[in-house]
Amino acid sequence: MTVFGEGTWPDTDEWTGRIYSGGWRLSEGGTATVTEPATGEQLAQVGVAAPADVARAAVTAAQAQRAWAQVPPPERAEVLLRAARALRVNSGAIREWIVRESGGIPAKGDYEIAAGLSQLAQAAGLASLPLGEILSPSLPGQASYAWRVPLGVIGVINPWNAPLLFAMRALAPALVLGNAVLLKPDPHTPVSGGVVVARLFEEAGLPEGLLHVLPGGIGTGQAVVADPHVAMVSFTGSTEAGRAVARAAGEELKRVALELGGKNSIIVLDDADVEAAAAAGAMSSFGYQGQACVAAGRHLVHADLVEAYTQALVRQAEALRIGDPREEGVVIGPVINERQAARIERIVDESVAAGARVLVGGRRDGLFYPPTVLDHVGRAMPAFSEEIFGPVAPVVPFRTDTEAVEIANDTEYGLTAAVHSRSVRRATAVAEQLRTGMVHLNDVSAKDAANAPFGGMGASGNASRIGGTANLELFTQWRWMTVTEGA
């Protein structure tokens, strides 16, 4: 096996076959191979955290967290800023790990790095915000205070589709607000979503014991959720897995933040700019092979524009080169694994058998699934109802704004949406009727910002929000104290 990154940052001699928990050490769960989806090449070996490793890490984290909570917030923020500097310095090596582990093109790696830097900067700013209130006392001469205190140990369970970004999005605010973190990266991306993160915070001087990186599968995640020292779980992944996490965490009365799937609509009203809307639609459905919770899973287009829009979307799809993401000019790389490729194939094939029509794409080559546009999509078809998580754009016509809203809301999910119209007032009126946690006018559905409260409704999450000042509420809890002179 050729270990990718040998002799480059992060130094493979230090972490190969190991987990990060009180330094780099061998785990009780053995090792796992990291494979490149584009080529099948073996990239690295990482340690796998067994339940005993998780238990040991949780005890260490709980002990370290008590001292960390007493460190002045500006000093905690400075650690995040040093991690950001390390991220900038090592961005080239980190980009390559993201590309090769996740199958995204270099621009996707650049986006994750920039977004990670933004998350670190935004989280550092939390240190300067007020953490409490002086309340009106109930008795003369009494003082009444309320302030936010850390939760303790936070378990962060991350997906493979934006491993660096999602790690920073949760652990940066958790750490700066005085918590310790157990980070479980996905088995597909344990380096860019785990090893890299550990090395960045090592270089930043984060005190030992506050961050533990514990790669592994379902068993490792279950151990993180169940451990009695873990006060909260932040989970990003499928709705099915999120429900299991919520059940397990709820049994122990733990706080849980769930960022789950989506069946997101781009709504194109009859006065929209067709070419601009189609470009946004292509980016939303085909970007990173459609492997994002915020990807557009439906294109709802006014019947008067549907032919022109569909033609423009097909042109967009045909212009996208497919292949190894490291090759010049490639825009569409592989999907993450065979299971996901087969799922996309099933959804398209079953929808076609039920009457949908493939206008472009629709046939895969191994893990490479081409940008695909479907029309004649009915509500009983899988392409209409299921989250595809692949580069497929189902087009559905409508006649009135009311009908567009009704079709968009015909789903258990409620994550994000986009509305296109030359009238901002009209687009806003439609947007306000959508049951989604986020909505964007004349833009893509797939948007993220470090200072925004990110999250969904319904099966897209448990109404928690992560990002910006919402992180204060998410990663702390209130304490109330009164002071009375004399008994």
Domain residue limits at 350: 264-450
* Three-state secondary structure string covering 2-17: CCCCCCCCCCHHHHCC
pLDDT number for residue 463? 86
pLDDT number for residue 141? 87
**In CATH, what number is assigned to the domain containing residue 268?**
3.40.309.10
Q: Are residues 190 and 91 both part of a single domain?
A: yes
Q: Are residues 160 and 276 both part of a single domain?
A: no
Q: Are residues 422 and 442 both part of a single domain?
A: yes
Q: Are residues 252 and 287 both part of a single domain?
A: no
Name 18's Cβ contacts closer than 8 Å, sequence gap at least 6: 24, 25, 26, 27, 46, 47
Q: Are residues 94 and 166 both part of a single domain?
A: yes
pLDDT number for residue 6? 43
Q: Are residues 325 and 224 both part of a single domain?
A: no
Q: Is residue 51 part of a domain?
A: yes
Q: Are residues 252 and 335 both part of a single domain?
A: no
**Torsion sign, CA atoms 246, 248, 249, 251:** positive
Q: Are residues 291 and 368 both part of a single domain?
A: yes
Is residue 401 within 8 A of residue 394, CB to CB? The reply is no
Q: Is residue 93 part of a domain?
A: yes
Q: Is residue 111 part of a domain?
A: yes
- Residues with active-site annotation: 259, 293
Angle between helices 73-89 and 163-176 in degrees, nearest 10: 160
Q: Which of 230, 177, 214 is nearest to 476 (CA)?
A: 177
Q: Is residue 456 part of a domain?
A: no
Is residue 152 within 8 A of residue 450, CB to CB? The reply is no
Q: Is residue 3 part of a domain?
A: no
Instruction: Report the C-alpha gap between 31 and 29 in whole angstroms.
Output: 7
Q: Is residue 242 part of a domain?
A: yes
pTM of model > 0.75: yes
Q: Are residues 271 and 164 both part of a single domain?
A: no
How many domains would you assign to the chain? 2
Q: Are residues 248 and 277 both part of a single domain?
A: no
Q: Is residue 487 part of a domain?
A: no
**In CATH, what number is assigned to the domain containing residue 130?**
3.40.605.10
Q: What are the backbone angles phi and psi of residue 385, rounded to the nearest 5°?
A: -100, -30
Beta 132-135 vs 372-375: how paired, if at all?
A: unpaired
Q: Is residue 21 part of a domain?
A: yes
Three-state DSSP at 473 gives helix
Q: Which of 124, 126, 125, 96 is nearest to 112 (CA)?
A: 96
Q: Are residues 193 and 303 both part of a single domain?
A: no
Q: Are residues 393 and 325 both part of a single domain?
A: yes
Tens digit of pLDDT per residue, the chain (487 long)?
A: 334 444 468 989 899 999 999 999 999 999 999 999 999 999 999 999 999 999 999 999 999 999 999 999 999 999 999 999 999 999 999 999 999 999 999 999 999 999 999 999 999 999 999 999 999 998 888 999 999 999 999 999 999 999 999 999 999 999 999 999 999 999 999 999 999 999 999 999 999 999 999 999 999 999 999 999 999 999 999 999 999 999 999 999 999 999 999 999 999 999 999 999 999 999 999 999 999 999 999 999 999 999 999 999 999 999 999 999 999 999 999 999 999 999 999 999 999 999 999 999 999 999 999 999 999 999 999 999 999 999 999 999 999 999 999 999 999 999 999 999 999 999 999 999 999 999 999 999 999 999 999 999 999 999 899 999 999 999 999 999 999 987 7
